[in-house]
Every structure is written in structure tokens, then in C-alpha cells.
Amino acid sequence: MERWQLVQRQNFPLDAKIILTEKRIREWVDYYGTYVSYSGGKDSTVLLDICRRLYPSMWAVYCDTGLEYPEVREHVKQTLNVEWLKPKIPFKEVLQKYGYPIISKEYADYIHRLQRSPDNEAIRNKVINGICVSGRPTSFKLPQKWHYLIDSGIKISADCCGVMKKSPLKSFEKKNKLFPIIGVMAAESKRREQNYLKDGCNAFNLKRPQSRPLSIWTDQDILQYIVMEKLPIAKCYGEVVPAGGQLSLFDPPLLETTLCKRTGCVYCGFGCHLEKEPNRFQRLKVTHPRRWEYCMKPMEMDGLGMKPVLLAYGVKIE
């Protein structure tokens, strides 16, 4: 699929997107009979609502990582028919064993590989110079501005998601012979956009097949749906209110949440350097000061030791 086709679909009215989403869900369920990977965030709350209008007993599975806002956990507790999974080890142990998830998955993974094998010339050449073993340029090169992190003494890695979320879900899928429906949108990141362009909504051909029927939705669609259906969402988002203005004359008025814009993992360091101030850690200090303390305290004092990591990485924490 070409990018213009995605943009065209992203501009469909919400009614049309709901019809398309329902169609993709039906196709997936007919093929696999399945479950919703449910995070308790607003996107997956919308997804679960659409799925359960079609299939009222649709299973939802929540991975209880201990990294969610307490309000999100509370929201999940109030949702019926949810299976709770737990990762094998806690987040703190993931940080100690593998490293901190910072910058982006791709960069963290390459820094980790180099930190693990500092004398491996092939990896060094690839990461630092962008040259592969055959001497040809690679599509990847770690930007110069992050090189100092390689020898900074800060352990960095992208393994956290795998241990905390993917592994418990994979075990569940293997045991129950199911493949997930997940609430991600192409508009969220380059990687998700590329995935959509390559596989469409229903990725039947992947090693771990998955359905992403909200792919062509935008954040505004999610908010419109929540208002339209009077859908309860986690309290940490606050209210959904008019934001003032609209994208075009033909679009509905823009909406926003009064508190959190995103939830996700409270202590995640991925992408926080790109956020406008107040960033997620500055906001956390105001909304959940005890969690902020725990996050910043050194490991020896029973914290997560993230203060020096975030400061070294140029992220303001207060």
C-alpha cells in the first residue's frame, strides 16, 4: 500500500472508519477466534468497546506490569471478563539485568549490543559508521549525539517490552492458541505507519499474526468516539473537552483531555526527550509525587535510579 492511501483513509469520517474497523475485526475473529490485548488506556478501551458490541463475550487480556498509572489499573479492574497476566520479573530487575529503555527501541537496542560486545568490530562499524560486514552502507546509523551514551556507564537496552509485556502475552497465546487484536494506530509512529503500509490492518502473514483494526484512526477519532459513546475512561485522563478550533470546515471541533494526553508505562524513558515541557516526568512529579520519588531514588535506596539516567540523556525531571 502507498502512503497516500493511508492518508486518504485517515481522512475518512469516523462512521466510515468504524464500519471498516468492524469488518476487519470480523475477518480476524472468523479466521482465528481471538482476544483483545487490553492496556486500559483510551485507545484499547475504544477497541474493546467496538469488539464487544460485535462479540459481547470477547476476551480481554491485561498485562499487569506494575508500570501503569494506578487509575488505569483501577479502570481495568472495573472492566468485565479481563484475564490478568504478570511478567516473570519486576521492572527494577529488568533495568538491572538488561538496562534502561531510553531514546527509542531501535537506538537502545544498538547501544545495548555494543555495550554487551564492545570489541565486536562488525557491530561497532554498523552502529558508529553505518557500514555492514560487506562494506556496504546500512540503513541504520546511531546519530553522533548519542555516541557518548555507549561508554557512559549507563546500561541501556530495548529488552524491557519483551520481558514485561510480550513474553507473558506470547505464553498466553501459545497456551490458548489465539492471536491478538491490538489498539495501535499508524499515526502514532513511523514504525507503526510502516507496519500498516506493509501488512494492512490484519497481519495474517507475520510470525506472530496480529490484527490492528484501528490503524487508520487518529487521536481525534478516539476522543470523538469516547464522547459520542459516553465511554468511561481511566480517571488520569480527566475529561474530554473541546480544544478550540477544527482541522477543516468539514471536520468536527477538536477535542483534548484535561489531564494526561497519553498513559502507557509511567517510568518509560522511550521518546521522552522529544516531549514538550512539562514532559511525562515533570507531570508525574505533580500528579503522582510518590511514584516520581520512587523513580528517581537510587537503586540502593529502593528506587529505580532513573535520575542520573534521565539527566545524562538531557531530559528535565522537574
- Contact residues: ligand SF4, CB under 6 A: 65, 67, 101, 160-161, 164-165, 264-265, 267-268, 270
Report the nearest approach of ligand SF4 to the CB of residue 44 (Å). 14
CB of 169 to ligand SF4, least distance (A): 11
Q: What DSSP letter does each residue of 229-291 carry, written as one string? A: TT----GGG--EEE-S--SSTTSPPPEEESS-S--S-TT-EETGGGSPSS-HHHHHHHH-HHH
Name the residue nearer to ligand SF4 (CB basis): 181 or 304.
304
CB of 91 to ligand SF4, least distance (A): 7
Q: Determine the Cα–Cα distance for residues 39 and 61; give it in Å rounded to an integer.
A: 8
| Of residues 39 and 224, the one with the C-beta less far from ligand SF4 | 39
- Return the number of the residue (101 or 213) whose C-beta is nearest ligand SF4: 101
Residue 280 makes CB contacts below 8 A (sequence gap 6+) with 262, 266, 268, 272
Q: Give 55-89 as a 3 state SS string.
A: CCCCEEEEECCCCCCHHHHHHHHCCCCEEEECCCC
Which residue number, 18 or 160, has a Cβ lying nearer to ligand SF4?
Answer: 160
CA nearest 312: which of 196, 145, 172? Answer: 145
Q: Which residues contact residue 267 at a Cβ distance below 8 angstroms, ignoring those fewer than 6 apart?
A: 67, 91, 291, 295, 304, 306
Output the smallest distance, CB 267 to ligand SF4, in A: 6
CB of 101 to ligand SF4, least distance (A): 4
Nearer of residues 103 and 160 to ligand SF4, judged by Cβ:
160
CB of 265 to ligand SF4, least distance (A): 3
For ligand SF4, the closer CB: 18 or 67: 67
CA–CA dist 228, 210 (Å, integer): 28
Burial (CB count <10 Å: 0-12, 13-18, 19+), residue 76:
buried
Specify the 3-state DSSP secondary structure of 36: strand
Decide whether 160 or 309 has the Cβ nearer to ligand SF4: 160
CB of 254 to ligand SF4, least distance (A): 27
